[in-house]
A and B are shown apart, each in its own frame.
Chain A
């Protein structure tokens, strides 16, 4: 019986909740009974927003430390912070673009070098696919489409029980009509990024 726990983390305003919603809707359409949860607390921007997607015969909507099978990190530092939720076989997809937290922006503390953070993650998890998803989102015509880039990449890793076409159908049906074209382009760019061996910092064990 399939059991899959997917953890998404990013900065407020990046669209982690929409990404989990799209994945959940696609799973529902494919016959699963997904469970999703959101942790956003206060409505302001700037803080960390996390969400979960649980697939399989599980009833718990959240993920305990060390139990995420897949992590989608929308920002480089948050990828490292999410290590707490990973295990040795976790597949992590990480955006390498940086959103400096406030204490960094004002020079109180420095932002850890992205290369160092990726090396740490790559040394611990089962697989790490990392690339600049923000650049691909801009290329697709919507800087907010990082979520679609990462979903496209995830679909292309062939780890999900739902297909890329299932996901794209949800994007067509359930996302803002004004952004559908950009979202689909972003999705495809993400899928292409996942097929580029250069972006794999650690290949998942077969």
Chain B
């Protein structure tokens, strides 16, 4: 059923870092896992969901990351091993719970996976969550490879129970989405039912209890530091007068650079994997052994600052460098060539950088066309955006568009251009409140269904209560499409065996006090345009619910795509309306007989039948013709 359950102990499998984490959780006997999907963490939840269908563990897609961590905390308090996984910005949502959970402590091992995203492959910022571990005062492990992600996940559960603290497993995209060889261990048997033992004077954080708990947390950090000193994940490699320190995937780049530069005999390499609390004695021994130190870490100078502080407190004057001019950047992820170059320069080693080829654009004599990601053909979000655009045009009003986090954020790009302001999950509604209050402009906010349940509910309650003026369009495609079609509380079309009880989104909206409410299928143009015009023209808090399932999700569940296809019949003249307002990627322009003609690519057309409602020149394609 699930690849994670296959194979005998000792076998070697090619696993994604995320799969290695999920497998390790099963070997550790995790009894409950909860997540909110977010790239680069999504596959951890997806694989554990697959396994949960065998009854081996309890798994849930939670409404948001705070909920996921709190559900895991509850299970842990009853003695179960529990895992909560999320992307880096998800920890911001969970932070309120995390800070105090560190005081409360855990019983069954609790591992919090924070998947950070240097270079922002799919995120709104590139925050370094190592600072969260220090902030909360919880132990942190940073793997460099899928095998180490597996080893550290197992160790994290044990460490969590030994200290009675949640443990952060901090990964980065390059670990989550690397596929490497991983050795299988023994799967743990399904755990027995847990039992919660009451102890309110250490588990209920009223001030008098929390004062004691804070002191206990500091004492646990001291014990954790001692464990970091002897951790096999922190080790000194090689010997030589030049010191190099690295953690996470940067340690892999360092290892390759040392090999390729032939530097092994000149460098002492401090390879850190247990990075909060830091092994201060080990670091001090390292610092006293070398002439100068280069710290190789992505994003923030977390280790560098700690090493400098430690050197000061121990009276060591060895130069410590990391971030800075000619050294490493605080921006973006590293790559092996970059690390090799900086390391060679720092060690004053001659090295041959690969000879770069001339730039392709230069050789071609023109820039290469960009290939931006776009809303898919047949995406219902595009149809709703189109209706809102036309409604605003017809009413002669300029709209301001706070948006949110999901596929629909790609409405940012022309020709749709339906995204003006975005901070984080749920911010479309709340920023719309402030924008409309301050500007008096017509504010149309967009949010997806999953995002609405994640972070939109409280904002909508606020908008109603405080009598704000905004139109909220909920783009409900029945799934969390952007991260790979995970379910959420509103789903009715569910993955196989998904046990979730659907929550009626429309009833929730009405229950939050919204009285002006429209519900449309955005692929039915007349209906959606009429509703859009009414909704745009109205005042106060109003919600337009646009419901049509993600066509990729439907295709995936049903195993086929719809068959109706459309084409442009005859000459549609110089009208560029489709391209300028709709921007369906299946539509393209050709130059034929020195005349520009719009056509529909039969391979890309998803058969949504939206465009056929806009223009008489668009007709169903005849069978066998394209």
Interface set, chain A 1-49, CB cutoff 8 A to B: 11-12, 20-21, 24-25, 28, 33-48
A204 part of interface (Cβ distance < 8 Å): no
Smallest CB-CB separation from A27: which chain B residue? B14
Q: Are A28 and B14 in contact (CB under 8 A)?
A: yes
Q: Are B354 and A66 in contact (CB under 8 A)?
A: yes
Q: Are A11 and B371 in contact (CB under 8 A)?
A: yes
A141 part of interface (Cβ distance < 8 Å): no
Q: How far is the CB of A80 from chain B (nearest CB, A)?
A: 5
Q: Are A64 and B181 in contact (CB under 8 A)?
A: no
- List the 9 shortest-distance A-B pairs measured between CB atoms, nearest first: A64-B337, A47-B373, A66-B354, A36-B179, A105-B588, A59-B252, A107-B589, A60-B336, A61-B178
The interface-forming segment of B186-194, B358-366, B437-445 is: B358-366
Q: Tell which of A83, A102, A110 touches B357, judged by Cβ atoms closer than 8 Å.
A: A83
Task: Give every chain A residue within 8 A of B121 (Cβ-Cβ).
Answer: 39-41
Q: Tell which of B363, B410, B588 touches A120, judged by Cβ atoms closer than 8 Å.
A: B363
Given known A36-B180, A107-B596, contact A65–B371 (CB-CB < 8 A): no
Task: Give every chain A residue within 8 A of B181 (Cβ-Cβ).
Answer: 28, 33-34
Q: Are B410 and A44 in contact (CB under 8 A)?
A: yes
Contact with B along A70-90 (1 / 0, CB 8 A): 000000011011011011100
**In the complex the two chains form, what is the Cα distance from A16 to B121 in whole Å?**
17
Q: Tell which of B180, B256, B357 touches A66, judged by Cβ atoms closer than 8 Å.
A: B357
Q: Are A44 and B249 in contact (CB under 8 A)?
A: no
Taking beta carbons and an 8 Å cutoff, which residues of B are in contact with A? 12, 14, 16, 39, 121-122, 144-145, 174, 177-181, 249, 252-253, 255-256, 259, 335-338, 353-360, 363-364, 366-376, 407, 410, 415, 481-485, 552, 579, 583, 585, 587-589, 596, 603
Q: How far is the CB of A69 from chain B (nearest CB, A)?
A: 11
Q: Are B145 and A62 in contact (CB under 8 A)?
A: no
Task: Give every chain A residue within 8 A of B483 (Cβ-Cβ).
Answer: 43
The interface-forming segment of A111-119, A152-160, A161-169, A186-194 is: A111-119
Task: Give every chain A residue within 8 A of B552 (Cβ-Cβ).
Answer: 45
Smallest CB-CB separation from A105: which chain B residue? B588
Q: Tell which of A12, A21, A67 touches B336, judged by Cβ atoms closer than 8 Å.
A: A67
Smallest CB-CB separation from A46: which chain B residue? B374
Q: How far is the CB of A68 from chain B (nearest CB, A)?
A: 10
Task: Give every chain B residue within 8 A of A112 (Cβ-Cβ).
Answer: 364, 366, 368-369
Q: Are B372 and A47 in contact (CB under 8 A)?
A: yes
Q: Are A88 and B357 in contact (CB under 8 A)?
A: yes
Q: How far is the CB of B263 from chain A (nearest CB, A)?
A: 15
Q: Are A77 and B357 in contact (CB under 8 A)?
A: no
Q: Which of A86, A101, A125 has the most CB of B within 10 A?
A: A101
Q: Are B255 and A59 in contact (CB under 8 A)?
A: yes
Which bucket holds chain A's interface residue count? 35 or more
Q: Are A24 and B179 in contact (CB under 8 A)?
A: yes
Number of cross-chain contacts by CB at 8 Å:
189
Task: Give every chain B residue within 8 A of A59 (Cβ-Cβ).
Answer: 144-145, 252-253, 255-256
Q: Which of A12, A60, A86 has the most CB of B within 10 A?
A: A60
Q: Are A62 and B336 in contact (CB under 8 A)?
A: yes
Task: Give every chain B residue within 8 A of A177 (Cβ-Cβ).
Answer: none
Q: Are A46 and B368 in contact (CB under 8 A)?
A: no
Task: Give every chain A residue within 8 A of B252 (Cβ-Cβ).
Answer: 59-61
Give me 13 A-to-B residue pairs in the complex whose CB atoms sit less than 8 angstroms apart, sorted by A's number.
A33-B180, A35-B180, A36-B179, A44-B374, A44-B375, A44-B410, A45-B376, A46-B585, A60-B252, A61-B178, A78-B371, A80-B360, A84-B357
Smallest CB-CB separation from A11: which chain B residue? B371
Task: Give every chain A residue within 8 A of B376 (Cβ-Cβ).
Answer: 44-46
Interface set, chain A 117-165, CB cutoff 8 A to B: 117, 120, 123-125, 143
**In the complex the two chains form, what is the Cα distance from A200 to B295 in whole Å?**
46
Q: Tell which of A64, A86, A102, A105 touches B338, judged by Cβ atoms closer than 8 Å.
A: A64
Task: Give every chain B residue within 8 A of A64 (Cβ-Cβ).
Answer: 335-338, 354
A206 part of interface (Cβ distance < 8 Å): no
**In the complex the two chains form, what is the Cα distance from A100 to B604 in whole Å?**
11
Smallest CB-CB separation from A111: which chain B residue? B369
**In the complex the two chains form, what is the Cα distance from A73 to B75 in whole Å?**
48
**In the complex the two chains form, what is the Cα distance from A88 to B337 in whole Å?**
17
Q: Are B587 and A105 in contact (CB under 8 A)?
A: yes
Q: Are B357 and A106 in contact (CB under 8 A)?
A: no
Given known A21-B14, A36-B179, A109-B369, contact A66–B356 (CB-CB < 8 A): yes
Task: Give every chain B residue within 8 A of A100 (Cβ-Cβ).
Answer: 588
Q: Which of B360, B370, B585 has the most CB of A within 10 A?
A: B360
Task: Give every chain A residue within 8 A of B336 (Cβ-Cβ).
Answer: 58, 60, 62-64, 67
Task: Give every chain B residue within 8 A of A84 (Cβ-Cβ).
Answer: 356-357, 359-360
Q: Are B372 and A80 in contact (CB under 8 A)?
A: no
**In the complex the two chains form, what is the Cα distance from A182 to B229 in whole Å?**
56
A197 part of interface (Cβ distance < 8 Å): no
- Contacts beyond the supplied A64-B337, A66-B353: 4 A-B pairs with Cβ under 8 Å: A44-B373, A61-B145, A65-B354, A106-B588
Given known A21-B179, A60-B253, contact A83–B369 (CB-CB < 8 A): no
**In the complex the two chains form, what is the Cα distance from A57 to B259 in whole Å?**
9
Task: Give every chain A residue within 8 A of B410 (Cβ-Cβ).
Answer: 42, 44
Q: Are A46 and B14 in contact (CB under 8 A)?
A: no
